Structure 1
Amino acid sequence: MTPLRQRMLEDMSIRNLADNTQLSYLQQVSLYARHFHRSPEELGPEQVRAYQVHLTKTRKLAPGTVSIATAALRFLYSVTLKQNWAPDDIPMPKKPFKLPVVLSPGEVAHFLACVDSLKHRTILTTAYAAGLRVSEATHLKVTDIDSQRMVIRIDQGKGRHDRYVMLSPRLLEALREYWKVVRPKTWLFPGDIPGQPITRFAVESACQKAHRAAGIGKPITPHSLRHAFATHLLEAGTDVAASNCCWDIAA
C-alpha cells in the first residue's frame, strides 16, 4: 500500500465513512492514477477535467457513476492532499431525476412466489415488507427482530445510523416459519461461510433468477422492492415517514 493510499484510508476512517464508500473511493482513485500512469500527487485540475471527459465521452458512463469518481477525487484533493482548489475545479455532474419503475402488489407477490429457496424468499420478503436496503437485510441478526414491540432494529444502516422499522404481523409470521426450518443462530440469514451473513451478491443473484422465472417485464432488484414498499404505503394512504420509523437509537 502506497503512503498516499494509506493516508487517504486513514482520512476516511477518521471521518467514519461507510466501509463501502471507502472501498469505492480507493478504487476510483486507483483507476484515475492508472489512467495517467502517474501518482495523483503529480496531477492537477486539468488532468481531473480530462479524466471526467474520458469517463463521460469515451467510456460513456452514466452520470451517477461519474459522480462517484468525482466525489472520490474531491475527497482526495481537498482532504488528503489539502489542495486549495475552487469547487468548480472538480465539477460534480448533474444527475437526471428519473422516477423508478414500481412493481404492483400483485407483481411483488408473483415475484416472491418464484423464489425457489426459503432463505432467499424470506430475505427478499423482508427487504420488501420492511423497506430495507439489501445491505441492511443481509446484516440482520436474530436478536434484531423484536416481536414484542413489533419492530426490527437496523444496526448501522446508511450513514452509520441505527434505527427501527416496523415489523408487520405477516412478515413476523414468515420469519417464524423460516426460523422453524433454518434455526439461525447469530445472523438471521447466514451465508455459506460459517459465521458470516449471506452476501449481497447471493441475494442479487437469487433476485435475478426469480425475475427470469416470474416473466415480469419490469426491472426487479432488491432495491426496487424497497421502492415498491414505499409506493404501496403511499397508495394505501399511510404516512411513510412515520411508518418507516427512522428512530435514532440515541434519541
Structure 2
Amino acid sequence: MDNYFNSYREMISLRGLTDHTLKNYCTYIRAYLDYLQHILYKDPGDVSWQELRDFIKWLQADRCLSDRTVNTAISQLRFFTMYVLHRPWDDTQLPMRKFDTYLPFVPSHVEAVEFISSICFLYKYFSTISTFFSLIRYFFFHNPDILSVP
C-alpha cells in the first residue's frame, strides 16, 4: 500500500499545490488505503465501484464529514484512480454530493443608508474629539506656565 501512497504523493505534487493542501488530500487517500488494507483486504486495482461507494459512506459516517468535504475525498479518489491506477473514472458511478449554497448577506436600501449614516456620525464624532485634543495640546504647548505649580 505504501507504493500506491508514494505514487499518489509524487503525482499530486506535480500539480503545484501548497504543502497544506497536499497534506489534506493525502489524508483521504491514506484513509482509503487503510480501509482497503484493514477492512476489505483488497488491492486498490481490484476495487469495484460499489466498494468505492461503500468507502465514501463509511468515511462520511465514521468522520461525520460535510458534503463539501466528501466531494474533496471523491475528487482525490478520482485523481488516484486515473493517475496512479491508470483506470478510467466514471462520474455516474460515484457522483459528487449536492450541498446548499448560501448567498452572501445583502442589506436592504434602508439598512445600507443607516450603516453609511452611522459611519458619517462616527467620523464627525472622532474629528470633533481630535480637534478638541489638538486645541488642548496647542494651548498647553504655548502656555507652559499653566502647568507649573507656584
State whether TM-score is above 0.5. yes
1:126 counterpart residue number: none
Distance in 1 between residues matched to 2:105 and 2:33, nearest whole Å: 37
Equivalent in 62, 85, 92 of residue 89 of structure 2: 85
Where does residue 12 of structure 1 map in the other structure? 12
- Residue in 2 that maps onto 1:70: 74
Fraction of identical pairs, as percent:
28
Return the offset for 1:50: 0.8
Deviation at 1:87, TM superposition (A): 2.0
Q: 1:61 is matched with which residue?
A: 65
The structure in which a higher percent of residues are helix is 2
Query: How many residues in Structure 1 have an aligned counterpart in Structure 2?
Result: 106
Task: Work out whether 1:23 is the aligned partner of 2:20.
Answer: no
The answer to whether the 8 A contact 1:74-1:90 is kept is no
- Secondary structure (helix, strand or coil) at the match of 1:99 reads coil
1:138-177 equivalences in 2 (<5 Å): none
1-side partners of 2:51 and 2:24: how far apart?
Answer: 20
- Output the CA distance in 1 between the equivalents of 2:16 and 2:94: 23
TM-aligned CA distance change 1:57 to 1:10, over 3 Å: closer
Partners of 1:54 and 1:98 in 2: how far apart? 27
**How far apart, CA to CA, are the structure 2 residues paired with 1:18 and 1:41?**
28
Q: Could you tell me how far 1:40 is from its partner in structure 2?
A: 2.8
* Root mean square deviation of aligned Cα: 3.0
> C-alpha deviations, 1:85-141, integer Å up to 9, x for none?
322223111221013579xxx9xxxxxxxxxxxxxxxxxxxxxxxxxxxxxxxxxxx
Give the TM-score of the pair, scaled to structure 2. Answer: 0.57
**Structure possessing the higher radius of gyration over alpha carbons:** 2
User: Could you say if the C-alpha distance between residues 69 and 6 of structure 1 is closer, same or farther in structure 2, counting changes exceeding 3 Å?
Assistant: same
Q: C-alpha separation between the residues in 2 aligned to 1:12 and 1:59?
A: 24
- Give the whole-Å Cα distance in 2 for the aligned partners of 1:27 and 1:57: 16
Structure 1 stretches lacking a partner, 5+ long: 107-251
Of residues 90, 98, 102, the one that matches 1:98 is 102
Please give the alpha-carbon distance, in whole angstroms, between the structure 1 residues aligned to 2:83 and 2:59: 23
Q: How does 1:1-251 map to 2 (within 5 A)?
A: 2-36=2-36, 37=38, 38=41, 39-56=43-60, 59-100=63-104
Q: Specify every segment of 5 or more residues in structure 2 that has no aligned partner in the other structure, as ranges.
A: 107-114, 116-150
Alpha-carbon separation, structure 2, partners of 1:32 and 1:100 = 35
